């Protein structure tokens, strides 16, 4: 069975501090992994996906197959990064997503 | 204005009643999805449809039913058999089935059972 674990419910940092939101997954195949973000009063939206290996809003995430992790990182947090972040997995060849329980990031001035 | 719309925004239901949540998209997407969001549990897939007149159960389909008679519409009915229906419901859509395509989400419907 596929499973996504986000161990932190809340991560609170000061502006300018580095941020790492943890995500671990369990899946026997080669999954596609994503980070979705929900800002206050906005819709859930895609932040980034591992296959594109891009940096969005200063965030990056590297897939570590050995550790089955896909942690989201940003070197210098901004107040506008405060939001709910969900890690998600798509099993190979399937459209559906399996979500983690989410981590609320709070960036204080 | 393109995108996914869900109605109503808030819905109240008495125990024992069925209720239908609307989801419409004008993105010309083939695939549509329903998720349930509960505090501390993330999003869980209820049903999904990859094409008109076809749909599959997700992880928590019991007590729910759907239809996909039109490409742009994917209504979700919460039946009286659903034991704990109070939750936030999200609808999403994506371009096609097969390899993964980005899912676009609606604003959600908050259902409360009185």
Task: Give the pLDDT score at B25.
Answer: 97
Neighbours of A93 (CB within 10 A): 11
Neighbours of B17 (CB within 10 A): 13
Q: Which residue of A has its CA nearest to B37?
A: A101
Q: Whole-angstrom distance between the N-terminal and C-terminal Cα of chain B?
A: 34
Q: How far is CA A51 from the centre of its chain?
A: 14
Q: Which of B33, B42, B101 sits opposite A102 (nearest CB)?
A: B42
Lookup: tokens for B83: 């034991």
> What's the whole-number mean pLDDT along residues A24-45?
91
Residue A92 has pLDDT above 90, yes or no: no
Task: Give the pLDDT score at A88.
Answer: 94
Q: Do B58 and A96 touch (CB under 8 A)?
A: yes
Q: Which residue of A has its CA nearest to B104?
A: A45
Task: Give the pLDDT score at A93.
Answer: 67
- In tens digits, chain B (114 residues) has pLDDT values of 569 999 999 999 888 899 999 999 999 999 999 999 998 888 999 999 989 999 999 999 999 999 999 999 999 999 988 888 999 999 999 987 566 678 999 999 999 998
**Peptide bond preceding B8 in cis form (omega within 30 of 0):** yes
**Closest alpha carbon to A85 in A67, A65, A68, A70:** A70
Task: Give the pLDDT score at B98.
Answer: 61
Lookup: tokens for B58: 């997700």
Task: Give the pLDDT score at A95.
Answer: 72
Q: Do A99 and B94 touch (CB under 8 A)?
A: no
- A-facing residues of B in 28-87 (CB < 8 A) are 31, 33, 35, 40-45, 48, 50, 58
Distance CA B9, CA A13 (A): 33
Q: What is the CA radius of gyration of chain A?
A: 13
DSSP state at residue A39: -
Cα dist from B13 to B24, B78, B87, B112, whole Å = 21, 10, 12, 6
Q: Which residue of B has its CA nearest to A7?
A: B40
Q: Do B101 and A95 touch (CB under 8 A)?
A: yes
How far apart are the CA of B79 and the nearest CA of chain A, in angstroms? 23
Question: For B6-32, how does the pLDDT look when each residue is reduced to its tens digit (9 = 90+)?
Answer: 999 999 988 889 999 999 999 999 999
> A95 or B64: whose pLDDT is higher?
B64
Contact in structure between A21 and A4 (CB atoms under 8 Å): no
Q: Which of B41, B44, B90 sits opposite A44 (nearest CB)?
A: B90
How far apart are the CA of A31 and the nearest CA of chain B, in angstroms? 10
- Strand-pair partners of B51: B54
Distance CA A97, CA B11 (A): 26
Task: Enumerate the residues of chain B whose CB falls inside 8 A of the CB of residue A43.
Answer: 105-108
How far apart are the CA of A58 and the nearest CA of chain B, in angstroms? 20
């Amino acid at each position: 069975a596929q499973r996504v674990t986000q161990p932190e419910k809340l991560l609170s940092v000061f502006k300018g501090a580095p941020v790492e939101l943890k995500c671990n997954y369990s899946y026997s195949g080669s999954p596609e992994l994503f980070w979705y973000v929900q800002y206050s009063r906005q819709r859930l939206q895609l932040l980034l996906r591992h296959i594109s290996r891009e940096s969005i809003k200063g965030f990056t995430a590297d897939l570590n197959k050995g550790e089955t992790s896909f942690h989201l990182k940003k070197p210098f947090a901004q107040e506008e990064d405060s939001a709910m972040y969900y890690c998600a997995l798509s099993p190979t060849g399937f459209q559906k997503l399996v979500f983690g329980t989410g981590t609320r990031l709070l960036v204080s001035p | 204005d393109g995108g996914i719309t869900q109605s109503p925004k808030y819905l109240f239901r008495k125990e024992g009643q069925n209720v239908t949540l609307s989801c419409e998209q004008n993105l010309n997407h083939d695939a549509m999805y329903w998720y349930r969001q509960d505090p501390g549990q993330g999003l869980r897939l209820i049903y999904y449809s990859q094409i008109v007149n076809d749909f599959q159960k997700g992880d928590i389909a019991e007590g729910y039913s759907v239809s996909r008679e039109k490409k742009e519409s994917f209504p979700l009915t919460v039946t009286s058999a659903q034991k704990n229906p109070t939750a936030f419901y999200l609808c999403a859509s994506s371009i096609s089935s097969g390899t993964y395509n980005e899912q676009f989400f609606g604003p959600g419907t908050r259902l409360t059972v009185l």
